[in-house]
């Protein structure tokens, strides 16, 4: 009997990945100082002070003479382990794209992680509303943390949407073309996406990674999250992943019947039935 989607492990594994990734991101200065040498002593002192101010486990000493403590190392080493475990345990849902290859499970697991982020963001907003209006004690971090998570959701969901072929497409001219012309259109749009990704990375790599990430630029508020240091690099990473997924889709769909693809991807029978039921149509 095949496993059903939505089991407990499909919730726990992405949650564990989000927890470990959050820990690693929050302790970013420690990893940068230990793994990427800084030539400027003032920058080292600034990053060290930032890490000590944000460190969640200040009582633990760093390993190997650095700032990263045993929990930091454990979180970092668990990330690839949890990622592989999550990919191996992915079970596509009935409403998801049915032709799933091994490489597509990367996007599927990232989609599951994005779903956990959406749930986390919702819980944070509910917590803030409860504190603000019930006990009149709003937090200093809920709004910015929600914005921070929403940024990751916005970018990571693009990869999942690309794998699911659920991005916006216009078929008016595409449908009347012969198959060889459709192939040309497919190749052209994927090539244009790769060109866009190349120039985006080429033009902003230094600004994003050297200025924002390497210096671990903060948001400059009371909560002071590293939004510039994380969101901007994630933009470049996300566009590269989306471009790669588009190429994989092109290869996988090369011999698919276009009419079958349109019917399967655009017309959702279950959703259509639910809409008819909601409006009382037979």
Quote the CA–CA distance of 216 and 35 in Å, as a whole number: 14
169-212 pLDDT tens trace = 777 888 888 999 999 999 999 999 999 999 999 999 999 998 89
Question: Domain for residue 244, yes or no?
Answer: no
81-96 pLDDT tens trace = 999 999 999 888 888 8
Q: Residue 139: its pLDDT value, please?
A: 92
| Of residues 157, 169, 70, 146, the one with CA closest to residue 115 | 157
Question: Domain for residue 78, yes or no?
Answer: yes
Indicate if the pLDDT at residue 264 is higher than 60.
no
For a pLDDT cut of 90, what percent of the chain falls above it?
61
Question: Domain for residue 220, yes or no?
Answer: no
Higher pLDDT: 184 or 37? It is 184
Q: Residue 93: its pLDDT value, please?
A: 84
Question: Domain for residue 65, yes or no?
Answer: yes
Q: Residue 267: its pLDDT value, please?
A: 54
Q: Which two tokens stand for residue 19?
A: 């927890």
Indicate if the pLDDT at residue 159 is higher than 50.
yes
Contact 238, 158 (CB under 8 A): yes
Which domain covers residue 79, as residue numbers? 1-91
For 76, other C-beta atoms within 10 Å of its C-beta total: 17
Question: Domain for residue 194, yes or no?
Answer: no
Question: Domain for residue 41, yes or no?
Answer: yes
Q: Residue 81: its pLDDT value, please?
A: 97
**How many independent structural domains does the chain possess?**
1
Which single residue is written with the structure tokens 């200040």? 58
| Of residues 256, 240, 224, the one with CA closest to residue 53 | 224
* pTM exceeding the 0.75 threshold for the entire prediction: yes
Question: Domain for residue 182, yes or no?
Answer: no
210-235 pLDDT tens trace = 889 999 999 989 899 999 999 999 99
Give residues with Cβ within 8 angstroms of 100, minimum separation 6: 92, 108
121-149 pLDDT tens trace = 999 999 999 999 998 899 999 999 999 99
Question: Domain for residue 29, yes or no?
Answer: yes
């Amino acid at each position: 009997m095949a496993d059903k989607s939505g089991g407990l492990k499909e919730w726990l594994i992405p949650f564990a990945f989000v927890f470990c990734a959050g820990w690693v991101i929050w302790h970013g200065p420690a990893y940068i100082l230990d793994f990427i040498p800084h030539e400027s002593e003032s920058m080292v002192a600034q990053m060290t002070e930032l890490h000590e101010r944000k460190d969640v486990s200040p009582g633990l000493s760093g390993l190997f003479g650095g700032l990263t403590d045993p929990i930091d190392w454990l979180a970092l080493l668990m990330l690839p382990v949890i990622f592989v475990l999550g990919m191996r345990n992915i079970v596509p849902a009935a409403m998801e794209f049915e032709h799933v290859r091994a490489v597509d499970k990367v996007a599927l697991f990232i989609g599951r992680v994005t779903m956990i982020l959406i749930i986390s963001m919702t819980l944070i907003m509910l917590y803030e509303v409860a504190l603000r209006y019930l006990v009149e004690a709003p937090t200093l971090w809920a709004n910015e943390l929600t914005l921070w998570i929403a940024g990751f959701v916005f970018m990571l969901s693009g990869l999942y949407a690309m794998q699911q072929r659920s991005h916006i497409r216009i078929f008016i001219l595409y449908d009347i073309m012969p198959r060889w012309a459709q192939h040309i259109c497919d190749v052209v749009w994927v090539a244009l996406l790769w060109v866009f990704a190349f120039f985006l990375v080429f033009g902003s790599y230094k600004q994003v990674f050297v200025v924002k990430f390497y210096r671990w630029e903060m948001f400059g508020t009371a909560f002071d999250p590293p939004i510039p240091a994380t969101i901007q690099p994630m933009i470049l990473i996300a566009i590269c992943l989306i471009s790669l997924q588009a190429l994989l889709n092109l290869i996988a769909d090369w011999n698919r019947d276009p009419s079958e693809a349109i019917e399967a991807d655009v017309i959702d029978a279950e959703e259509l039935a639910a809409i008819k039921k909601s409006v009382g149509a037979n």
